[in-house]
Amino acid sequence: MADFLTLFQNYASESKISDSTFARASGLSRAYINKIRNGKKFCKNYERMMKVIECLQLEKNAEEELKLAYQMQLSDDNGYMIVDAVSQLIKSFASIAIERDNRILVKEEEWLDHKEYHYKENIMIVCRKLIEQEAVKADGHVRLMMQPGQVQVQEALKWGLRNYPDLQVDQLIGLEKTAGNNHLKKKNIELLQQLVPIILSQQKLNYRVYYHYEWMNSYMSVYRMAAHFLVTSGQVLCINDDFTQAILWTEDTCVMYFTRMFDDMIRKADMLYFTSADPVGVYSDFFVDASDVCPSYTMGGQPCMGIAANDAMFEKYAIEFYNNEVMQRLLQFNQRVRRMYQNTTAVAYFTRRGVQKFLETGWLEEIPKELYHLLEMEDRKLLIRNLIALAKEGKYEPHLMDEDQFYRYPIGLVIDCYSENDIVVYYHTDFVEKHFIIKEVSLANCFYQYMEWMRTSSKVCSVEETLAYLENLITA
C-alpha cells in the first residue's frame, strides 16, 4: 500500500478540488491545506483530516485505503510501514496454500557446461540446475549464501524440499540491524515474507536459515567477486555482488574450501527460526512465558480456544496413541498458558468464518489434527461460553476482525506474540502443517507493534460487539 501523502496527492489531483474547498470543509486554512498537499505538513488533527478525505468523495474502497494510510502514519513515526509490511506477509499465506498444489517439474534444459557465466538470467538458470541436481542425490546438501528474492533459486528450493524430503539446505542471509528504524524493519519483514514459502515447503526439518547483521555487508564489500555463493557436494558457484558474473568450480579442493568457510560462517551466525518434529514440540520446547506487564496477543481464524479448555477436555479428546508422554506435555503446556494469563491480558483477534467453522466441524486450528478427535457440539459451545466468561472477568480481550474493511485472513494460520521478543506461527491446512518460532528481535517487535495497532484500529470490533456476536452464535 502507498503512503498517505502519495495517495492523497493522487486523489486530490484527480478530483481537481481546490484548496479553498478543502479549507471550507475541514476548518483548516487554505495555506495549511497547500502545505499538506505539498508534503510540508502532516495534519495530526484526526477529525479535521477525516473531513478533508470525505471532501474527495471517493469510492468506498479508495476512501478506506486513504483513511487507513492516514491512521497508520498518525500512529507513530512511520509506523504505517510496519503495519502494511506485516499485513502483506500475513496475506501471503493464503497464496502459499495454493502453491502447495502445484508440483514443479524439472525442466529438461541443456546443461551449460562452462566455467564462467554472464548475465543474471543465465546465472539463475545455473543456480536452479545445481539445486535440482543435488536434490536427487541420496545425501544431497545445498549451502547457499544469498539473500532471498531470486525467483529461480526460491522455486528450485521449494521443489527440492517438497519432492526430495532428505535434501539438506542451509542458507545464510543478511538482516538489517534496525535500531528502531522502521524503514529497516520493513526490509527485514519483506525478507521473511520471501522465506516463508520455502519454510512451508519442507516435509522434514531440513531447511535452516542463519543470519548476520553488519558482518554480511562488510563481507560483501570485501569479497565482491564471491559476494554470493552456492555449494553442493560437487560444485561451487561464486557470484559477484550484482549477479552479472559467476564462476563454477568443480575441483574437490575448491568445494572443500567453500564448504568449510560456509560452515564456519554459520557457526558465528544465529538461526532465524526454530521448529520441532514433535507434534507438541513447538508448544513445550520453545514456549516462552509472557511478560507480566505487556499484554500477549494471538491472531487466527478462531479465538484462542486453548485457554478456555480444562484438563478433562484435553484428556477426553486426545487420540489414544498420544495419551502418554505427548499428552502430558500438552497438558503441562496448557497449564502454563493458563497460569501465564493470570498475570497478563490475553488479546485475541479472530474472524466470523473461523468461529463458524469451529462450531460446524469441532476443528481447533491451534492444535495439530493428529493429536485429538473433533469436538462434540456440546463442548464446542462450552469452550465459547468459557471464553465469554473469561472476557467478562477481564482476563481475556476478544476482538472480531472486520474482513470486509481489512483483508481476508488466511484459514489455518495462527500467530502468537507472548512478548515483544518472540513470534510463534502455526499453519495447519490440508496441504501444510507447520509450526515455528522466530526470535530475531526486529521481526518479533514488528509483529508485536502490529498487534498493538490492531487493538485500537477501526479494523476490529469492540469487546462488547464481539461478546454480543459470540453469545448470539451459541444461542441461535
116-271 and 279-475, same CATH topology: yes
pLDDT value for 186: 87
Rounded to an integer, the average pLDDT of 282-292 is: 53
Averaged pLDDT for residues 136-147: 94
User: pLDDT value at position 405?
Assistant: 65
Residues 69 and 61: their CA atoms lie apart, in Å, by: 12
Lowest mean pLDDT of 42-51, 225-234, 279-288, 292-301, name the range: 279-288
CB 425 within 8 A of CB 436: yes
**CA–CA separation, 271 and 476 (whole Å):** 49
* Least-confidence region, from 245-249, 289-293, 452-456, 466-470: 289-293
- pLDDT of 270: 93
State the average pLDDT over residues 376-394. Answer: 90
pLDDT of res. 211:
94
pLDDT for 369 beyond 80? no
**Largest alpha-carbon pair distance within the chain?**
77
Lowest average pLDDT, out of 68-77, 107-116, 367-376, goes to 107-116
Q: Where do the structural domains in the chain lie, given as residue ranges?
A: 4-75, 116-271, 279-475
DSSP assigned state of 107: P
Contacts of 120 (CB under 8 A, 6+ apart): 243, 244
Domain 116-271, CATH number (from 3.30.410, 3.30.360, 3.40.50, 3.30.870): 3.30.870
Q: pLDDT exceeding 70 applies to what percent of the chain?
A: 80
Strands of the sheet with 270-271, listed across from one edge: 116-118, 245-249, 236-239, 228-231, 141-145, 168-174, 207-212, 270-271
370-to-42, 100, 364, 383 alpha-carbon distances in Å: 53, 20, 11, 20
Tell me the pairing of strands 228-231 and 236-239.
Answer: antiparallel
Which of these, 57, 324, 320, 89, lies nearest to 188 by C-alpha position?
89
Contact 149, 129 (CB under 8 A): no
Q: According to the model, what pLDDT value does residue 279 have?
A: 59
Rg of the chain, C-alpha, whole Å:
25
| Whether 79 contacts 41, CB under 8 Å | no
CA distance 336 to 311: 12
* CB-based burial label for 195 (10 Å; 0-12, 13-18, 19+): buried
Helix (H, G, I), strand (E, B) or coil at 382: helix
Q: pLDDT tier at 119 (50, 70, 90 boundaries)? A: confident
- pLDDT digits over 421-431, tens only? 888 898 887 77
More confident residue, 69 or 107: 69
| pLDDT confidence band for 209 (50 / 70 / 90) | very high
Q: Is the pLDDT of residue 42 over 60?
A: yes
In the predicted structure, residue 219 carries a pLDDT above the cut 80:
no
Distances from the Cα of 27 to the Cα of 24, 30, 133, 194, 411, angstroms: 6, 9, 68, 45, 45
Average pLDDT over the chain reads 82
Q: Which residue has the higher pLDDT, 81 or 162?
A: 162
Question: What are the Cα distances from residue 399, in Å, to 58, 145, 267, 277, 338?
Answer: 28, 42, 43, 32, 19
- 345 or 185: which carries more pLDDT confidence? 185
Cβ 4 vs Cβ 66: under 8 Å: yes
pLDDT band at 80 (very low <50, low <70, confident <90, very high): confident
Q: How far is CA 270 from CA 174, 211, 213, 259, 424, in A?
A: 11, 6, 10, 18, 17
Q: Is 228 exposed, middle or buried (0-12, 13-18, 19+ CB in 10 A)?
A: buried
User: Which residues have C-beta within 8 Å of that of residue 139, sequence separation ≥ 6?
Assistant: 166, 233
Class of 4-75 in CATH: mainly alpha
Question: Binning pLDDT at 50, 70 and 90, where does residue 103 land?
Answer: very low
**Nearest partner of 256 among 238, 228, 224, 232, judged by Cα:** 232
Grade residue 106 by pLDDT with cuts at 50, 70 and 90.
very low
Amino acid at site 468: A
**Per-residue pLDDT, 105:** 43
Distance (Å, whole) CA 53 – CA 10: 12
At residue 222, the pLDDT reads 52
Grid cell 481464524 — which residue? 301
Q: What is the CATH number of domain 279-475?
A: 3.30.870
**269 conformational bin, left if phi > 0, alpha if psi -120 to 50, beta if neither:** beta
Neighbouring-strand partners of residue 248:
237
pLDDT for res 367 = 77
The pLDDT tens digits for 176-192 are 887 677 778 888 999 99
b/e per residue, 71-89, with b = 16+ CB within 10 A? bbbbbeeebbbbbbbbbeb
| CB environment 274-283: b (16+ within 10 A), e (fewer) | bbbeebbbbb
Please say whether the beta carbons of 248 and 115 come within 8 A: yes
Name the 3-class secondary structure at 244: coil
Which region among 66-75, 207-216, 436-445, 450-459 has the lowest average model confidence (pLDDT)?
A: 66-75
Answer with the residue of higher pLDDT: 77 or 463. 463
